[in-house]
């Protein structure tokens, strides 16, 4: 079965320090991986995606993620955290087993990032 | 680019009434849209996949007669919660899949609609 796991419910980091939000996946074949961010009472904002190519993907707001096939991971990173980065982060993988190929996503449970001044 | 809007952003209704939520892709055509439900501090639960010009595909456990979905054009999908009850109170989020170009395979999300049923 396809799945995405975000092992940490919450990550706390001091402003200016590097941050990592972890994500591991389980899929058949090559994964399409995504990171989204959600601010309170808002929809999800697309940060970045990996489909093919360079394992290090750069996205919006200074975020990047590294695709690691051997560890089946796609951790989200940022070199220097900002207080404004505090939000709920979701990792997702495209469901490639569905017969209709609609691009349905399977989401992780989400990780709350708290950046303290 | 890749903007998705939802209307209304919040709605309060009485039990037994119906509520319609609109989802629009503003700068691209979306053959596929998705409807999610989200409970506080939880992940998104996919309710249904909305395909332009055809019937929606509902996830297991979602009542199709209660949550009516219509995808009348390439830029508009609607979700109607019929005979709403307090347990239907939730945050409903739609997304639209951009099928072309560099944004291929990416879902873009609307800002969400907070439904409160009294």
Chain A residue numbers touching B44 (CB-CB < 8 A): 44, 90, 107
Expressed in percent and rounded to 5, the helix, strand and coil fractions of chain A are 5, 50, 45
What's the confidence (pLDDT) of residue A98? 56
What's the confidence (pLDDT) of residue B40? 82
Residues in chain B predicted with pLDDT less than 50, given as ranges, are none
What's the confidence (pLDDT) of residue B25? 93
The sign of the torsion formed by the CA atoms of A65, B31, A109, B10 equals positive
Q: Give percent of chain A with pLDDT exceeding 70.
A: 94
Which of B25, B91, B90 is closest to A38 using CA atoms? Answer: B91
- Tens-place pLDDT, residues A68-80: 999 999 999 999 9
Chain B residue numbers touching A105 (CB-CB < 8 A): 34, 46, 107
What's the confidence (pLDDT) of residue A73? 97
Tell me which DSSP letter residue A56 carries.
E
Cis, peptide link before residue B96, omega less than 30° from 0: no
Report the alpha-carbon distance of residue B107 to residue B117 in Å, rounded. Answer: 28
What's the confidence (pLDDT) of residue B103? 58
CA distance A30 to chain B (A): 14
pLDDT > 70? residue A48 = yes
Report the alpha-carbon distance of residue B106 to residue B109 in Å, rounded. Answer: 10
Report the alpha-carbon distance of residue A91 to residue A8 in Å, rounded. Answer: 12
Q: pLDDT tier at A12 (50, 70, 90 boundaries)? A: very high
Q: Among A41, A46, A100, whose Cβ lies nearest the Cβ of B114?
A: A41
What's the confidence (pLDDT) of residue A100? 53
If one counts every other C-beta atom within 10 angstroms of the C-beta of residue A87, the result is 19
- Tens-place pLDDT, residues A55-99: 999 999 999 999 999 999 999 999 999 999 999 999 999 876 655
What's the confidence (pLDDT) of residue B1? 65
Report the alpha-carbon distance of residue A111 to residue A96 in Å, rounded. Answer: 24
What's the confidence (pLDDT) of residue B2? 83
Average pLDDT, whole number, for chain A? 91
Q: Can you spell out the DSSP letters for A68-115?
A: ETTTTEEEEEESS--GGG-EEEEEEEE--S-TT----EEE---EEEEE
User: Which of B44, B54, B59 best probes binding to A when mutated, by most A CB atoms within 10 angstroms?
Assistant: B44
- What is the rounded radius of gyration, in angstroms, for the C-alpha atoms of chain A? 14
């Amino acid at each position: 079965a396809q799945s995405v796991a975000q092992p940490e419910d919450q990550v706390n980091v001091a402003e200016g320090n590097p941050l990592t939000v972890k994500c591991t996946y389980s899929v058949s074949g090559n994964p399409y991986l995504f990171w989204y961010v959600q601010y309170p009472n808002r929809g999800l904002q697309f940060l970045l995606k990996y489909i093919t190519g360079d394992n290090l993907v750069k996205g919006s707001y200074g975020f990047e993620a590294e695709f690691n096939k051997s560890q089946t991971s796609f951790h989200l990173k940022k070199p220097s955290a900002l207080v404004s980065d505090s939000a709920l982060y979701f990792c997702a993988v495209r469901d490639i087993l569905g017969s209709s190929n609609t691009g349905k996503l399977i989401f992780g449970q989400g990780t709350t990032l708290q950046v303290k001044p | 680019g890749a903007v998705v809007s939802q209307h209304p952003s919040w709605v309060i209704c009485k039990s037994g009434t119906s509520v319609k939520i609109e989802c629009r892709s503003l700068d691209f055509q979306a053959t596929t849209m998705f409807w999610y439900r989200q409970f506080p501090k939880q992940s998104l639960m996919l309710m249904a996949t909305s395909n332009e010009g055809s019937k929606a595909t509902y996830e297991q456990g979602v009542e199709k007669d209660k949550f009516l979905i219509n995808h009348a054009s390439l830029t508009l999908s609607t979700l109607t919660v019929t005979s709403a009850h307090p347990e239907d109170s939730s945050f409903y989020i739609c997304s639209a899949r951009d099928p072309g170009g560099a944004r291929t395979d990416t879902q873009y999300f609307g800002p969400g609609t907070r439904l409160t049923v009294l």
